[in-house]
Amino acid sequence: MPSSRMSPSVVQRRLRLLASIGLGIAFSAGGSVVERSRLAAADAHWNGACPPTIPQHCPPSDCNPHVYPHGPMSPSAPVPPSWYHDSIPLSPGMSAPMGQPSQPFDPPVTDDPSETPSDEVPPAQSENDPPAAAPDDTPATNNFDNINASDFQSSFASTQSSFSAAPTVIGDFAGGGFAQFNTTIRVISSGYAAGFGSPNPTFDLIAPGGSNFPDLISVGPGFDVAGNDSFIDTYDLAEPLPPTDAPLAPGPGFTYDGGTIVYTNGSTGTDAVAGDPLDGDLWYYNYVYTRSLGGIGGGGDGELRPVPSPGVSVRRVKISENYSPEIRDRAFFNYSFFNDFVGGLGDISRFVVGMERVVVEDLFSMEVRLPVAATYGSRQSLNDAEARDMEVGNVAFIGKASLFRGNDFMWVGGLGVSIPTADDTEITMDGFDLVNIENKTVQIQPFTSVLKRWGDWTAQAYMQLDLAANGDPVHVNNNLNDPGLGTLEQVGVFTDSNLMHLDFSLHCLLYQRAQSDNGLNAVISNAELHYTTTLQDADLITQNTFDYTALQNNFDIVNTTLGAHFVFGKKNDFIVTPAMAIPLRDGFDKQFDYEALVQVNYLH
């Protein structure tokens, strides 16, 4: 009978089987613990905006939590999405379980690719924290050069380059360069003539080639100037008339100023002598033609003729014309037509070309302006009709700096310098120089302005001083009666009156297109009031019978300007501005009947 005891080899085999079964159970239980730790660690890194209690199935939303049952996992249950990741987040000091790579945690993939989180792990969020706000997908507003930007939705800084945010002041200034001088030219004719007849003799000039008779005619009863007898020895003379051998008026504008003829009793003297004149005896004659130059209104008693100073209508620059306080890059062009300019200068057309360049963004810019005018010429001959010409004016350089910039308010200041590039004034007669005025004045022009915006409205205020740093040398012929025998001599230095300009403008955005294109995108109205005054009495240069001064001792000019800006271009960078300026005063404070303007700006 076989023994009941098992052999050692059988026992060993059974022990090995039991050990294998036990180890399998242990590893299975350990695997469940590891997987649950893995799930908990993964969810610790996910911060959604879902409620604390996680439902079995979350609806599609911005939140994508892990979904898994609370109970033990069934072998046949589908594996949650987070189980597909191979890496386990580890706390500091932990090492990866056996067989697990040590890699960064990869957040779960969502159903919507656009909602897939980035690789960056967001910070933990507690239950008391408010839900994270959804990101704003609205693109940032860019209102630079955008005239359609609402003033309530954009700051002044964001619209600072927009023309509608800081439109230009149009202006009104006549440009200066008109003056007056007063002088009297005396042309004297004298000589000897033979007298015939009594009591009112006529006279035949004693001159070679004389053929006309009579040449001179006496008027009136005559006088006994010598006083030694009762004979008449002095007569007044009538103005010589052709045909005659006597000198006539030397030119247009001269008037006969009287003369006398005296009995010399055959001598070559110039004073009357006693005696009984006989036919053929010698008499001495002397008569004068005079011409007044200058005077109020640019003329004198002899002739109402304008008198230019250097650079008529292009001598002085008013910076507020086509001006904005904004610091911007632009090129511009101004045209002004002045009807019936003061002082008898007639109609004047003036052109200004200029450019402004930004030196420091939003802070400082430099500008240059050059005026040119079809105007009264700087060179005039008194023997000819009034000459008109194209005159280049004084060029101006302007620096402008932003002193304060807010959401709807600006304050700027600056300095302009006008240098003498216009022609000198030259007045001639018979080909000889009478008067020369050198253009040497440098104008210093400090200015400041403010701008305020509210809604579709903009208001601006501007102040400028126009100060003469030096004067213009004035030269006059030292023999005005016979310029051919004289030379020019400096009689003084004329200094322009200092000026102050005050300007106020109101702008309103009347129309704007919803989307800019190459056509008309906006219309902005302008209403302006301008005031210009002199700060001291006019300078005066005087020498003998010659006076040179301003057209009027003081000015107080008030004008109004009405116009509109028409904005074109896809970038709202091309602006055309028609306008009209009208004087509100009369007399010499009314410098023109009206001014018609067109201004063009190109922003770049």
pLDDT for 135: 52
pLDDT for 392: 92
- Which is nearest to 321 in space by CA: 176, 165, 158, 457? 176
CATH topology of domain 314-424+442-465+496-603: Porin (2.40.160)
Pairing between strand 202-205 and 346-360? unpaired
pLDDT for 250: 82
pLDDT for 256: 94
**Cis link prior to 243 (omega < 30° from 0)?**
yes
Q: How far apart are CA 46 and CA 41, in angstroms?
A: 9
> CB-hemisphere CA count at 13 Å for 26?
6
Enter the DSSP assignment of 483: G
CA 574 to chain CA mean position, Å: 16
pLDDT for 327: 95
pLDDT for 80: 53
Residue 170 CB coordination number (10 Å): 29
Phi, psi (degrees; rounded to nearest 5) at 188: -105, 135
Each residue of 412-450: b (16+ CB within 10 Å) or e? bbbebebebbbbbbbbbbeebbbbbbbbebebebebebb
Ranges of the chain with pLDDT below 50:
1-5, 27-29, 32-37, 39-50, 61-68, 70, 82-89, 91, 96, 99, 101-121, 138-161, 296-304
Q: How far apart are CA 295 and CA 301, in angstroms?
A: 8
Q: How far is CA 266 from CA 263, 279, 281, 282, 518, in A?
A: 8, 12, 6, 5, 94
The count of residues in the chain is 604
Enter the DSSP assignment of 37: H
Enter the DSSP assignment of 344: G
pLDDT for 221: 87
pLDDT for 18: 58
pLDDT for 130: 56
- 597 burial level (CB within 10 Å; 0-12, 13-18, 19+): buried
Enter the DSSP assignment of 323: B
Quick: pLDDT tens for 195-214.
887 777 888 877 555 566 78
Phi, psi (degrees; rounded to nearest 5) at 403: -95, -30
What is the residue-wise DSSP string for 376-410?
E-SEEETTSPPPEEEEE--EEEEEEEEEEE-SSEE
Quick: pLDDT tens for 216-249.
999 888 888 887 778 889 999 999 988 888 999 9
pLDDT for 7: 55
Residue 156 CB coordination number (10 Å): 20
Cβ–Cβ < 8 Å for 492, 503: no
pLDDT for 174: 85
Residue 473 CB coordination number (10 Å): 17
Tell me the domain boundaries of the chain.
66-122, 184-293, 314-424+442-465+496-603
